[in-house]
Copies of this chain bind each other. A is one copy, B any other.
Amino acid sequence: MTSLPTGSLGEVDPTSDRAVFRQIADQLREAIDRGRFREGEKLPSEAELVDHYGVSRMTVRNSFSILQGEGLVHAEHGKGVFVRPRPPVRRLASDRFARRHRDQGKSAFIVEADAAGSHPQVDGLEVKEEKASQDISTRLGSARKVLARRRRYLLDGRPVEFATSYLPLDIARGTQIAEPNPGPGGIYARLEELGHRLDHFEEEIRARMPSPAEVKTLRLASGVPVIHLIRTAYDAEGRAVEVCDTVMAADAYVLSYQLPAN
């Protein structure tokens, strides 16, 4: 007799108001919360739970799908259902675009990742001229055509965010900003060289569930939301000179802001 993998699980009450598959989900959730099943550990298989609870397989799968929607577990075809490990999170400090960080040759992402001991990569770089969407045009003070710089960021091989920078074409065209490699200090350094001394940034933050395309690009597990960050850079004259639209895997980030109390 080997020890039962369902050992710490109780029974369900079919006459309860609460649906059986919810009761099962509750028990599994509690077992996970209590550490009965640890991060990365395999939960009992569907068949084992069918036996244990005396319910049909679809009922068990229904329970798993609840926990999956909560981001607590993930299923691997042919292997089992596992407690989803909480990946180490990447902190984004609000001063990451401060001028003092721009003298280095490397981009903010690379510098930070190196400091944290992870292996950073940038991927799928694409630079092209486009017609601005309604939203981007509004944010950029009615610019019609823009230069778009797209790229994806990875940490230790895992995609964690992708971002698109939009700049008014009359600023960026023909400059190094339109080159794949914008040079040391990135496009913000180039903007300042072009006479657009940066004054402040504005960041808008939303959270939502990812679209299928985002799931694919960021290789998101189910039950993982995305953080959608839209940053607008303003120069000293109050002109919006760049909009950066970033979608981040929410389980990979903690954003951090410092606010003065005035």
Contact = CB atoms under 8 A, between A and B. Distances in A.
A77 interface: no
A236 to B, nearest CB: 9
Q: How large is the interface on A (under 10, 10 to 19, 20 to 34, 35 or more residues)?
A: 35 or more
B258 A200 contact: yes
Interface of A: 26, 29, 58, 65, 69-71, 89, 94-95, 97-100, 198-212, 222-227, 233, 250-251, 253-262
Interface of A is mostly: mixed
A95 B262 CA distance: 9
A202 B91 CA distance: 13
B261 A200 contact: yes
Contact of A209 (B69, B211, B227, B259): B69
B99 A255 contact: no
A97 B199 contact: no
A203 B261 contact: no
Contacts of A226: 207
A120 B207 CA distance: 23
6 contacts: A71-B209, A99-B261, A199-B260, A203-B257, A206-B250, A257-B257
Nearest to A257: B203
